[in-house]
Structure 1
Amino acid sequence: MSSPEEIREQIEDLAFATHHEVLAALRLDRLTPDRLELHEYLTFRWLRRRVAIRYLFDSAALDDASTRAYIRQISAAGAEIRIAADLKSNLLICDNRSALLYTNPEDPEGGAVITKESDLVVVRGLFSQAWEQATGLGQLTEERLRLAPADQELLALILKPGKDLARARELGVSLRTFHRRVADLYERLGVTSRTEAALIARQYISA
């Protein structure tokens, strides 16, 4: 397979036939909108079918807000996520029967090959080794996001009921400044709404 369209078609074929387990290593610094759409479609399809998912992401992916938000979203939905400092390849293993390997680790759209049962022992071994060396998502994001007391105060306010004007007054800032601070915090947390922020807020608020 040499074109992005052929690779996408093959991934969708593998996804349709997968019923038990998906292992994937994603060596990238961000998901483009087209690839993000495909990943969301496939991942939530698998989760609805109760397929066990283990995804390895390169740590650089956490620097992109939309990719970071996607990672948090699928983690909350049940996918098991770990972060690797320096992934060596992109691969997808489905039901321990078929694996898709990208021929150029620097370019996931530059070509891919399918390997079957006879070669899966080696491929799965490489994935398992990388998985064991990777860091859990919660541990890594906590290290990357050490929130200042003022940010923790803002998160605590987000959890409380009430209107933004009242929250701004409690912080002693204008409504416009409050909204700007919230938008900045959402960007750093990789969330897009108060609901998403509330789901993770307790991880970053000191007891």
Structure 2
Amino acid sequence: MRIAVSACERELISVQPDGGRPEDALAESAERVLPRLRQGVRNRSLYQHVVRAHPPTMRFVEQVIEAGGEVRTLSDLSERMIVCDRTVAFIPASAGRRDEMLAIRDTGVIDFLIGVFERAWLRAAPLEPNPARATDPDITSDLQLSIMRLLITGSTDSAIAHRLGVSSRTITEHVRRISRRLNSSSRAQLGYLIATSGVLDEPISQM
């Protein structure tokens, strides 16, 4: 994967879940990616909203944007993915092991993965080096929508926190606000109310 990224000539697409990345990983990415961007390679990257409050990742993002890259965020990103020049894609080799990547060269599978990326890209919020964006109402609304979707599945606060890259305390507070809004008295009732009230189809104001 490292060789493919370093040799990328036209387009580099990446999806980076799990919140803020370790500084050593960011430094390694900068060493590989930034020279490609400065030579004209188009780069689009998706991160989770939580990185907006993670200084090391934001410093890396600033470098990427200055070099011509584009970065957006969503509350929920399921798996890591890197696509180089639309000729090779890298995805996790097995569940729970995102450090082991499987190379895919089948054009049909790559086209499918890019389609998944494009749909997520359209829903994502552009990330700019501005700390105020961390509390943007649109970001909060997207996070709450993701939490409600996961509540319907019966996920626990800790499981939701892990999936969205935030703390369990943050999830608990959002669940409290959602429960208050829907007048729910129990976790089971809350899931039912979310599923039947139509709230997932409506714009969400600050709760």
Shorter-chain TM-score above 0.5: yes
Note if contact 2:52-2:133 (Cα within 8 Å) is conserved in structure 1.
Answer: no
Q: Deviations over 1:97-145 (max 9, x none)?
A: 0000124575532x22111123111111111111011001139854426
Structure 1 residues 33 and 143 mapped into 2: Cα distance closer, same or farther (>3 Å)?
Answer: closer
Shift in CA distance, 30/104, structure 1 to aligned 2, threshold 3 Å: farther
Give the deviation of 1:17 after TM superposition.
2.9
- Aligned match of 1:112 in 101, 108, 111? 101
In structure 2, give the amino acid aligned to 1:125.
G
Aligned residues: 135
Determine which of 69, 81, 97 is the counterpart of 1:79.
69
Kept after mapping to 2: 8 A contact 1:88/1:105: no
- The corresponding residue for 1:51 is 41
The amino acid that maps onto 2:59 is: A
Q: In 2, distance between residues paired with 1:28 and 1:104?
A: 16
Q: Match of 2:28?
A: 38
- Whether the 8 Å contact between 2:52 and 2:134 is mirrored in structure 1 is no
Aligned position for 1:63: 53
Give the drift of 1:58: 1.1
RMSD of aligned Cα (Å): 2.2
Distance 1:125 1:61 in 2: 24
Equivalent residues of 2:49, 2:134 under 8 A apart: no
Cα distance change of structure 1 residues 136 and 43 upon mapping to structure 2, 3 Å threshold = same
Q: TM-score scaled by structure 2?
A: 0.59
| CA contact 1:83–1:140 (8 Å) conserved in 2 | no
Q: Percent identity?
A: 19
- TM-score, with structure 1 as normaliser: 0.59
Aligned to 2:125: 135
In the alignment, structure 1 segments of 5+ residues that lack a partner are 1-10, 147-207
Once the two structures are superposed, the pairs formed by residues 1-207 of structure 1 within 5 Å of their partners are 11-103=1-93, 107-109=97-99, 111-116=100-105, 117-138=107-128, 141-144=131-134
Residue type of the partner of 1:83?
Answer: T
For the residue of structure 1 that corresponds to 2:128, the secondary structure is helix
1:59-79 deviation digits (Å, cap 9, x = unpaired) = 122222111111122112211
For residue 29 of structure 1, report the CA deviation from its aligned partner: 1.6
Distance in 2 separating the partners of 1:106 and 1:55: 21
SS of match in other structure, 2:98? coil
In 2, are the aligned partners of 1:90 and 1:105 still within 8 Å (CA)? no
Larger of the two Rg values belongs to structure: 1
* Shift, 1:56, TM fit: 0.7
Is the contact between residue 11 and residue 86 of structure 2 (CA under 8 Å) also seen in structure 1? yes
* Secondary structure of the corresponding residue to residue 82 of structure 2: strand
